Structure 1
């Protein structure tokens, strides 16, 4: 394995940075290509057919261009819809991102957990299956929000989140029947940990939030164990399918992405 072959992270926007960060902490020498399908953003409001067709085709082009050793689909919506098709189409290991319902159920004392994601994610049969397998004795309350994705994107561009908008989104979750009993919330969108402090501040006291980022990082480290990496810590490139705003560049640099390009 050529030590220069990168890990490729893929999302519709910058939400996948919440998965990239714990991975870089475990594998600081790994070269990184971070891809934001900004021309297709946001995935959460698109149809399943659009995502199922777009994601495998785009990742095929990216594999040809960047020759990654492993792909992380750092997007719950893309993973729950297109992961199987991507794995079937590409001869590269692919790690998906799925809602962290299992660890949420393990943490919950009230046996009522929330799943906060995009509308496209929370309605997927994949989520039904996770709930049945790992939270059968729990009440699972779901809420989909496209607005929270936009708030997270804006935060990384330097725009402080409006607490009233955060509270309004959470009211859609905690305001449902039995919502007052929720003690653990699954961040079922990789954008949402980027506004984790704001979500915690606007939630009832004692509510805990969980996401899949650390677990994905451990999985990537396991799958690449024993492979060669560059001798020194590596930087990374951010790739966009539409021209990115310059206001985003400081946040990309904080995540080790020192340059940006458009596909």
Structure 2
């Protein structure tokens, strides 16, 4: 019977903290290692090869340091590019997060769906889902969420983000004659704007994200044979560069219970 459960959560920034806080409610006795590639952030404007190399190299590096029971790629962009490879590479389970297309198709009433995501995630959705005949009746309106991602990080650090600023970014969707009745939040960062989106979009708009799927997978993959000890109070963050961005988010990481901050020396 194992007595120490190790879980790795990876993201380019701090959007994955949402999933960390949710998963910890259900699996409180694990040792969580949060890895953020702040040197590569944001991934939304990077090339695929760049992202693939960084995600795979960093996660493999971490697996050489710890024996993880579960690896969570809490980033849509990283999952779209590297998840399949990582699943084949490791024996222990690796799960990621991708836009829940099936649920959005099932619940839309006007057959118009909005997708807020990075360009890479948008292209992934277009190439893997919307080339099927069964989806021909669905109209997909996409929006590059790179600016929203940056704003969400500012909000998480305590800055007040005015609603009009978010609304202006969403104009390409809001100015359509027929507005989507279903919006896919295709990036973990966007979950921190959920209540703002509820105010901006028409009443009754459905917002789809993959947090329930990710939580259920995580809980399902964790064996009941682990000894439940007291909750570990202080968790560890690994980062890729000690830059101004990292110094700004340190207070937030401490707030989430991450007291041990360590640098990854995989890139010079």
TM-score (norm 1): 0.90
Which residue matches 2:238? 239
Whole-angstrom distance in 1 between the partners of 2:36 and 2:133 = 31
TM-score (norm 2): 0.88
Alpha-carbon RMSD: 2.2
Question: Shift of residue 185 of structure 1?
Answer: 0.5
Query: Could you tell me whether the CA contact under 8 Å between 1:75 and 1:97 is conserved in 2?
Result: yes
Whole-angstrom distance in 2 between the partners of 1:10 and 1:214 = 18
1:199 equivalent among 197, 200, 212:
197
Segment drifting more, 209-218 vs 133-142:
133-142
Which residue matches 2:215? 217
Which residue matches 1:144? 144
Which residue matches 2:249? 248
For the structure 1 residues 68 and 201, does the alpha-carbon distance in structure 2 shift closer, same or farther, using more than 3 Å as the test? Answer: same
Which residue matches 1:259? 260
Bigger Cα Rg: 2
For the structure 1 residues 72 and 120, does the alpha-carbon distance in structure 2 shift closer, same or farther, using more than 3 Å as the test? Answer: same
Query: Could you tell me whether the CA contact under 8 Å between 2:7 and 2:31 is conserved in 1?
Result: yes
Query: Could you tell me whether the CA contact under 8 Å between 1:170 and 1:203 is conserved in 2?
Result: no
Query: Could you tell me whether the CA contact under 8 Å between 1:101 and 1:131 is conserved in 2?
Result: no
**CA offsets 1:171-198 (integer angstroms, 9 cap, x no match):** 123334x5x3311111000110012122
Question: Shift of residue 28 of structure 1?
Answer: 1.7
Unaligned runs of 5+ in 1: none
Query: Could you tell me whether the CA contact under 8 Å between 1:102 and 1:135 is conserved in 2?
Result: no
